[in-house]
Amino acid sequence: MSELIPAPRAATAGSGGVRLTRDSRLCADSATEGVGRWLSAVLRQATGLPLREGREPGDAEGGIGLRLGTGLGPEEYRLVSDDSGVLVEGGSAAGVFWGAQTLRQLLGPDAYRRAPLDRDRAWSVPHLTIEDAPRFRWRGLMLDVARHFMPKEGVLRYLDLMAAHKLNVLHFHLTDDQGWRIEIERHPRLTEIGSWRARTKTGHRASPLWEDKPHGGYYTQDDIREIVAYAAERHITVVPEIDVPGHSQAAIAAYPELGNTDVIDTASLSVWDTWGINPNVLAPTDNTLRFYEGVFEEVLELFPSEFVHVGGDECPKDQWRQSETAQARIRELGLADEDELQSWFIGHFDAWLRARGRRLIGWDEILEGGLAEGAAVSSWRGYAGGVAAARAGHDVVMCPEQQVYLDHRQDPGPDEPVPIGWVRTLEDVYRFEPVPPELTPEEARHVLGTQANLWTEVMEDHARVDYQAFPRLAAFAEVAWSALPAPAERDFAGFRRRMAAHYGRLDALGVAYRPPAGPLPWQRRPGVPGRPIDGPPPHR
């Protein structure tokens, strides 16, 4: 019980345990049938036990019962293991699902395997009572599949890893300068041309190294439907990101008329093969707006999420300053400058999404020039954007680069592969506090939650993504779920002790995490330059 991650709100140990046998049954009520199917599937493959379907959750003597409970919040659950069996109750199917994840942890690391190691092994759940609920409604992971494409099977795997850590929002970064990853039927060249680049920079953008082979891929609309459905079965919401008006060279390479044609020869552009902030941004024309409205129409059909992410970050204004078309639009709209032009661009899609019952969310640069009521902010440039947004009445997801960008290096040692950014150790992430202390209680209510971000410029495959994500994502998950003390008062020694058991779960899941002693030889990238930043990161 003491090895659970994230830590539950309250847990009381009993004496004895519930032994699962070939006669044990798994009983779910009508509202929790989906959770029952998931739990029986994963436990059958790990234990070899049949776990036949029972009749009523309350009759699961010697087995497992799943049902809705009274007086519980939507994601809250109660798990009771005693002489009558194991009963998981939740305020909704989501709460029951999180309780089922806890039950899986209680069975030990081998409960995460896809086949039993020993069919004669005894499986038991200790007698106990756990009452638990999340601190935040948004417990997210941003997965960047634009810089390095992750095949569909890898995305489904990460949804399972998220669910195992009680994370419930996948922010799916689908488009950028280096690749367009989602099929749009009315604009086929977005994937025919925009999903592939001829070569790829290896390491930081200042590196002299290249991988001279094409890289790319994309998800068909059926792939997206499968990903969204798979996530929903695990009570995870997928929030798509379509980047505008910056980070758009892949789209411009496919459709040159989207760029600032009166400034550069957009027809000569290809999908970008290096990293950094790209000067080639969308032209603020009616044609561009209609084009992206068509994109978003198809996106809305595929993603039922309340929020749609539009990027809005790192949009250089140099081309707009030189473009007579952009300057004419500024004059036409009575805007003060190019910053207000970007605000107008974002505001157009905010209104467009609101008219269709959705909400816009974007990186904190969308605050510049004014932000429409109802839009939400992903605060990445420290805490300041989140503080400003919350004080202005906007909802916020806190994901400051200095704290929870998991592409940043984990250790100052020379063996750290392609070291990027500040050192963010497991302990640093565990002591991250999503709610800025300067917010009043009323302002703090606008903090929907928090999110860890995985930017994949230097992560060429799933093993590199695993290395950067874990074990730090486990610490982040506890920050997002558990009601922890103030950062300085958190029991990191206790968390590290619980992680000793959790590594066994990650091993069973095949996660290529960074070992506590440092990278294994095959995890290193000698000779590939990164961009380490010395010293502690700025707090704000």
Strand order in the sheet with 52-53: 10-20, 123-132, 77-82, 85-90, 64-68, 25-28, 52-53
DSSP assignment of 89-142 equals: EESSHHHHHHHHHHHHHHT-GGGGSSS-S-TT--EEEEEEEEEE--S-SEEEEE
Catalytic residue among 247, 309, 394, 446: 247
Catalytic residue among 314, 340, 411, 433: 314
Nearest alpha-carbon partner for 174 in 349, 315, 309, 353 = 309
Catalytic residue among 29, 76, 144, 176: 176
- The question of whether 176 is a catalytic residue gets the answer yes
Name the phi and psi angles at 219, rounded to 5.
-100, 130
Is residue 339 within 8 A of residue 271, CB to CB? The reply is: no
For 372, the token pair is 């429409």
Residue 171, classed as helix, strand or coil, is: strand
For 364, the token pair is 């904190």
- The question of whether 241 is a catalytic residue gets the answer no
Nearest alpha-carbon partner for 194 in 263, 141, 243 = 243
Residue 68, classed as helix, strand or coil, is: strand
Secondary structure string (H, E, C) spanning 429-468: HHCCCCCCCCCCHHHHCCEEEEEEEECCCCCCCHHHHHHH
Nearest alpha-carbon partner for 142 in 489, 404, 386, 506 = 404
Is residue 464 within 8 A of residue 413, CB to CB? The reply is: no
Query: Looking at the annotation, which residues are catalytic?
Result: 176, 247, 314
